[in-house]
Structure 1
Amino acid sequence: MRVLLIDSALSLCTAAVFEDGAALAVRSEPMFKGHQERLAGFVRDAMAEAGIGFDALDRIGVTIGPGSFTGLRVGLAFAQGFGAALQRPVVGISTLDALAASIEMDRVAPDAVAALIDARRGQVYARFWRRGVVEGPAEALSLEAAAARLAALGPGVTLVGSGAPLLADAVPGAIVVDRPGPSPEALARLVVAADPCLAPPEPQYLRAPDATPPTRLPGQPRTQVRS
């Protein structure tokens, strides 16, 4: 199966082409902003290096978050546009699931894994696994609540993601893997294994956006509050 991978959810911008688990081309750079300007060029270059046409793709995979609001929208819009144009299925992959899968691709098999993304404001986006079995859905947790969950997993837990350093001291003996984003190899494996009907390319938001819509239109008078 030939897949095009798109990841712009965190601080990486990645476009990659895989065939049957082998990388044909990978374009990936650390990037906190500017994904919109670079992603199309990355896809173009990756496809050119892979030496195949877009019509040779079988599936498109894209990270759906949690992550940067703007980055997510860029990646999802791009992937959905390509999928519609090529009439190919678009598969959405959780960023947290892909981070956890990246540990396995590093040939590490810990008893417990916590995928953690720094969500700012004293929070992390988190998901937990014990012996390869996921323990509940992705959540937005305070640092204190996340530390308690890690303590319940016990010593030797592996923490992966940008939120890992924030909780490095929560569990004695924890292994910290501060990855800026999922590995393309892990994404490729998850995209191929996914059922497109069960993994739609829809954004995963775990808390309300920081920005809120205005309470009045431009030029509209302010509502007077009577005492």
Structure 2
Amino acid sequence: MRILAVDGALARASAAVWADGMVLAQAAQDGARGQATALPPMVARVLAEAGLAATELDAVAAVVGPGGFTGLRAALALAQGLALAIGRPAIGVTTGEALAAALPAALRGSHAVWSVIDTRRGRVLLERIAAGASAAAAPPEPFELEALPLPDQPVALVGDAAEAAAASLLARGATVHLTESWLPQAGAAAAVAALRASGELSPRAALPLYVEPPAVRQPPGA
């Protein structure tokens, strides 16, 4: 199984080629903007480093969200266009799934994983993955930071709001493990996509996952 994965959901653009359980090539560029221009040359670079033509891929994957509107659309458009051009499936991976997949297997086996993403509107989006699982059983939910539910077991926190969530939950007596998986990695997303391609996880299309409607400013006078 050979998979190209791309991500632009949060403050990083990344691309990776994954094959038979390992990342063959990967590239990343941090920054809250610029995914649309950064991703296409990254894809060309990782394919060249992996020694593969696009037509040799078995699937193309993209992180579908939650995340920023522009970065998500850039990554998804690229993944969908390439998949269509080579006649391969386009597979979606949530932000939480990608973040969780980057953690050590032992930690994922002993802790539930909570992905906490900052909406930049005073709320966070919580995606919960059970211990030992690779995908969430339910869609992400919006919460005020101070209103995050208390976990009934130790949880590992991932996502760009993980540090703030850890402080809030610890202050209320929760047992949490703050990880360093704050931004998705395309290589980890590809590993989740491989589970979907093999039928081990439920299918997910490469379509944007919006928990809240995108913030839109009307032009003056509208």
Tell me the TM-score normalized by structure 2. Answer: 0.86
Q: Which residue of 2 aligns with 1:60?
A: 60
Residue number among 199, 206, 210 corresponding to 2:204 in the alignment: 199
**Deviations 1:27-49 (CA, angstroms, capped at 9, x unpaired):** 11212111111111101111111
Tell me if structure 1 keeps the 8 A contact 2:98–2:184: yes
Residue 187 of structure 1: aligned partner = 189
SS state of the match for residue 110, structure 2? coil
TM-superposed deviation, 1:212: 4.3
Q: Aligned runs of 1:6-85 on 2, under 5 Å?
A: 6-85=6-85
Give distance in 1, aligned partners of 2:204 and 2:130. Answer: 23
Cα RMSD, aligned residues only: 2.3
- CA-to-aligned-CA distance 1:71-129 (integer Å, 9 cap, x gap): 00000111111111111110011111221222245755333221111112221111123
Going from structure 1 to structure 2, the CA distance change for 1:178 and 1:122 (only over 3 Å counts) comes to farther
Q: Contact 1:116/1:159 (CA < 8 Å) preserved in 2? A: yes
For residues 10 and 105 of structure 1, the distance between their equivalents in structure 2, rounded to whole angstroms, comes to 24
The CA deviation string for residues 118-168 of structure 1, in whole angstroms up to 9 with x for no partner, is 11222111112343354532112211222xx2x2334x3211111111111
Aligned residues: 213
Pair 1:99-2:104 in alignment: no
**Counterpart of 1:163?**
161
Distance 1:77 1:143 in 2: 32
Separation (CA, whole Å) in 1 of partners of 2:121 and 2:152: 24
CA distance 1:106–1:42, shift in 2 (3 Å): farther
Q: Which runs of 5+ in 1 are unaligned?
A: 218-227
Q: Which amino acid aligns with 1:98?
A: A
Please tell me the residue identity of whatever aligns with 2:188. Answer: A
> 1 or 2 for the larger relative contact order (CA 8 Å, sep ≥6)?
2
Higher mean alpha-carbon deviation, 120-129 vs 3-12, is at 120-129
* Counterpart contact for 2:103–2:181, Cα < 8 Å: no
Measured in 2, the distance between the counterparts of 1:135 and 1:57 equals 29
Distance 1:104 1:153 in 2: 22
Q: Distance in 2 between matches of 1:16 and 1:25?
A: 6
On the 8 A contact 1:4/1:15 being kept in 2, the answer is yes
Which has the higher Rg, Structure 1 or Structure 2?
Answer: 1
**Range with greater deviation from structure 2 (177-186 or 113-122):** 177-186
